[in-house]
Amino acid sequence: MVLNLEKTNIMAFLTINQPYCALTVSSKDKCIEEAVNLKFLAIQIDSHLNWRNHIDQIIPKLSVACYMVRQIYHICNNDTLRSIYFIYFHSIVSYVIILWGNSSHSRKIFTPQKRIIRIMIGAHHRTSVESY
């Protein structure tokens, strides 16, 4: 097995109180670069595992799903809108939620989720969606 050194990165996982220590790994003529953020299987991972970058990456995708539902709200019934919600919105939110769901930044996901539910039920933008 041969590593592609141009695509290979190294990352040190740190706590907030831990001092930073630079890592260097070299192989013959090339060094493996250290990364602060990595994208691995559509997951943004940073060295502190705070998941802010990952959540900031998926919020625009959720906004696109809200826009799509808003555009077809008038021509679809509730079952179709529910299916579209699970296909385009829920699949994005639930992907590896076991890793990032407990993050303090995960609260940002609730805003687009409430927005798409309000669109689906035809409610005013300030209506509570707790019962849905």
Residue 35 lies in a domain: no
Give 10-42 pLDDT, tens digit per residue.
Answer: 887 777 666 555 555 666 667 777 787 888 888
Kindly state whether residue 17 falls inside one of the protein's structural domains.
Answer: no
- Contacts for 54 with CB less than 8 Å, ≥ 6 apart: 43, 44, 45, 100
Most confident segment among 17-26, 42-51, 123-132: 42-51
Q: Is residue 20 part of a domain?
A: no
Asked if the structure places residue 18 within a domain, the reply is: no
Residue 46 lies in a domain: no
Query: In which band, very low, low, confident or very high, does the pLDDT at 70 lie, cut at 50, 70 and 90?
Result: very high
Span 110-128, average pLDDT? 88
Q: Averaged over 54-83, what is the pLDDT? A: 92
Q: What is the pTM of this model?
A: 0.75
Examine residue 23 and state whether it is found in any structural domain, yes or no. Answer: no
Q: Which two tokens stand for residue 100?
A: 């990032």
User: What pLDDT is recorded for position 19?
Assistant: 59
Q: How many domains does the chain have?
A: 1
The predicted structure's pLDDT at residue 17:
66
- Name which residue leads in pLDDT, 115 or 37: 115
pLDDT at position 14: 75
Q: Does 105 reside within a domain?
A: yes
Q: Residue 64 sits in which domain range?
A: 51-121
88 burial level (CB within 10 Å; 0-12, 13-18, 19+): middle
Does a structural domain hold residue 80?
yes
The lowest-confidence range among 1-5, 67-71, 95-99 is: 1-5
